[in-house]
Structure 1
Amino acid sequence: MLKYKNIAFIGAGSMAEAMVSGLINKAEMSPDRITAVNHTNEERRIELSSKYKIQTVAFEEISLRNKDVIILAVKPKQAEAVLQRLKSVLQDHHVILSVLAGISTRYIEEILEKPFPVIRVMPNTSSMIGESITGISAGKYVENDDLDLAQELSKAIGKVKIISEKQMDVFTGIAGSGPAYFYYLLEHMEDAAVEYGLDRELARDIAAQTLYGASKMVMESDDSPAELRKKVTSPNGTTAAGLQALKENGGGDAIEKAVKNAARRSRSLRKEFEKVPAL
């Protein structure tokens, strides 16, 4: 069904590009069914058009008549202005997906003033290689067919979890922001290896494959991460020494605080831009 849909991305930043790349390169969606829109950055439009062969237009020239799915991918602070502009050109058949961090379906529905199906979709930048984990939360006017469409689109770029909107902040803290935490971890593993004499590219390959293998173990094993950790930690061994250093330097606490901080920021964005009570 998805291959017959036409999609318009309102916003042409990194998340929009990641989704475009995944849809074209992994889901084999025809580029002529995808349009990306931004306000003034013509250079960015040319870049995306050249790289992915999609259509790109300035926001002021937007036409949504032949579009089926509208994906909101602008900065949260731009949400109200963009929605005010879109409300006059949206049509009854449109399904609206929002990747706006912290912005609720209720806020979007209230600005549009019509019962459009609005679905929050939180992928991550691993969409680019078809390996995202995407959270989906349905708004008030969403029907089963709309939700099926959102799932189908999201499955084209990775795995999907349907969650309540109240869970979206913490989902954002883990999945939306999580890739950056792992990149940060890999940066430091790479630096330590270089300090001990390894070539940087070799160190990067070793660290990345180790992370990939550990992640795959978690996904394919019935054991919890804690149980898997214990199985590879011999008393007084090298792994125990490394874990002790993590514990002494607040490694576990830092990871938990990163997730919680990102979740709090997602909540604060809603309060900052929506000026409505928290969900």
Structure 2
Amino acid sequence: MAEAILRGLTEARLASPDRITVMNRQNAERLQELHRRYGVIPAVQEQAKHDALHNADVIVLGMKPKDSANALRALAPLLRPEQLIVSAIAGLSIGTMESLLGGSRAIVRTMPNTSSMISLGATGISFSPAVTADQRELALAMFEAIGITAVVEEPLIEAVNGVSGSGPAYVYYLMEAMIDAGIDLGLTAEAAKELTVQTVLGAAEMVRRTGENPADLRRKVTSPGGTTQAAIETLERFHYQEGMNAAILRCAERAKEMGEAIRMEAALPLARSE
């Protein structure tokens, strides 16, 4: 996801690569790869990391949720009050971030998805009260460079996670089933994949271009007593919609659980290494 944001920033020329610094915990080879690919500046040494964090106007957080509490505690003394913090960490609330960073901050909480890698992402965005109008505009421009954005109240970020954050995986799972079924019916693996990919692409583009509700488009291609109706009736017998709804709700619930776990960890003192 961090690389998707980098690509969006550089390709849209929102920031010059020599003004973007990248860092991680210990994978220097990965940082050098990003430098070669995009021209961004790798920060490998601890002092270079500290200087970059202190001097940056915008800091994008992309660590794993399980690492976020300790990471934000470590960041807190390096930051300036006016910096914009952009989080792409699932479950991590603005309130928990402020608690870990020591008070009110300009924080943008986001939930992008992996289609951002090809600039077709969908990102939900929420803002803390301290975010200025200019910072809000900058954050939106960052994520509009890699797809579309939807500004939502923070409690709805988990709903965004359920619908679009994890959404590509649901579509891939559907495509897996379509390809496997095609092969079972005698198609080659290549033909089954090509037909499935084009079908999903075409269906999504039909919804986008026509602006019609997917349910209406489905009804238009479902002739009474025909093949499509037979297929839809089979899906209904297997409670397809109920299963999908339950999966999306569970995804949102899991995001809340992860956030609560981070919040509870944030209440604990930072563990010291022996």
- Which deviations, in whole Å up to 9, do the C-alpha atoms of 1:140-185 show, x marking residues without a partner? 3112221111111111111111000011101101111001111111
The one of 31, 42, 46 equivalent to 2:17 is 31
User: Against the structure 1 CA distance between its residues 23 and 195, is the aligned structure 2 distance closer, same or farther, given a 3 Å change threshold?
Assistant: farther
What SS does the aligned partner of 2:200 have? helix
TM-score using structure 1 length:
0.87
Residue in 2 that maps onto 1:238: 227
User: Against the structure 1 CA distance between its residues 186 and 121, is the aligned structure 2 distance closer, same or farther, given a 3 Å change threshold?
Assistant: same
The one of 82, 96, 99 equivalent to 1:110 is 99
Q: CA deviation at 1:275?
A: 2.6
Q: CA deviation at 1:23?
A: 3.0
Task: Give me the whole-angstrom Cα distance separating, in 1, the residues matched to 2:120 and 2:109.
Answer: 19
Residue in 1 that maps onto 2:57: 68
User: Against the structure 1 CA distance between its residues 204 and 38, is the aligned structure 2 distance closer, same or farther, given a 3 Å change threshold?
Assistant: same
What SS does the aligned partner of 2:230 have? helix
Task: Give me the whole-angstrom Cα distance separating, in 2, the residues matched to 1:145 and 1:164.
Answer: 19
The one of 141, 144, 148 equivalent to 1:159 is 148
- Supply the AA of the counterpart residue of 1:240: Q
Give the share of equivalent positions with the same residue, in percent: 39
Deviates more, 1:20-29 or 1:100-109: 20-29
- Which deviations, in whole Å up to 9, do the C-alpha atoms of 1:44-78 show, x marking residues without a partner? 32333333332222483412244221011111121
Q: Highest Rg: 1 or 2?
A: 2
Task: Give me the whole-angstrom Cα distance separating, in 1, the residues matched to 2:187 and 2:197.
Answer: 14
Q: Is contact 2:8–2:119 with CA below 8 Å preserved after alignment?
A: yes
User: Against the structure 1 CA distance between its residues 29 and 130, is the aligned structure 2 distance closer, same or farther, given a 3 Å change threshold?
Assistant: farther
What SS does the aligned partner of 1:233 have? coil
Task: Give me the whole-angstrom Cα distance separating, in 2, the residues matched to 1:23 and 1:205.
Answer: 32
Residue in 1 that maps onto 2:129: 140
Q: Is contact 2:122–2:147 with CA below 8 Å preserved after alignment?
A: yes
Q: RMSD between aligned alpha carbons?
A: 2.0
What SS does the aligned partner of 1:135 have? strand
- Which deviations, in whole Å up to 9, do the C-alpha atoms of 1:200-255 show, x marking residues without a partner? 23322221121122112222334322111111100121111211221122222221
User: Against the structure 1 CA distance between its residues 35 and 201, is the aligned structure 2 distance closer, same or farther, given a 3 Å change threshold?
Assistant: farther
Residue in 2 that maps onto 1:4: none
Q: Is contact 2:5–2:142 with CA below 8 Å preserved after alignment?
A: no
Residue in 2 that maps onto 1:229: 218
Gapped regions of structure 2 (runs ≥ 5)? 266-274
Task: Give me the whole-angstrom Cα distance separating, in 1, the residues matched to 2:188 and 2:143.
Answer: 38
What SS does the aligned partner of 2:86 have? strand
What SS does the aligned partner of 1:87 have? helix
Task: Give me the whole-angstrom Cα distance separating, in 2, the residues matched to 1:263 and 1:214.
Answer: 26
2:63 aligned with 1:77: no
Task: Give me the whole-angstrom Cα distance separating, in 1, the residues matched to 2:122 and 2:135.
Answer: 19
Gapped regions of structure 1 (runs ≥ 5)? 1-14
Q: Is contact 1:173–1:259 with CA below 8 Å preserved after alignment?
A: yes
Residue in 1 that maps onto 2:270: none
Residue correspondence of structure 1 range 1-279 to structure 2 within 5 A? 15-25=1-11, 30-58=16-44, 60-61=46-47, 62=49, 63=51, 64-275=53-264
TM-score using structure 2 length:
0.88
- Which deviations, in whole Å up to 9, do the C-alpha atoms of 1:6-26 show, x marking residues without a partner? xxxxxxxxx212222333346
Task: Give me the whole-angstrom Cα distance separating, in 2, the residues matched to 1:28 and 1:187.
Answer: 37
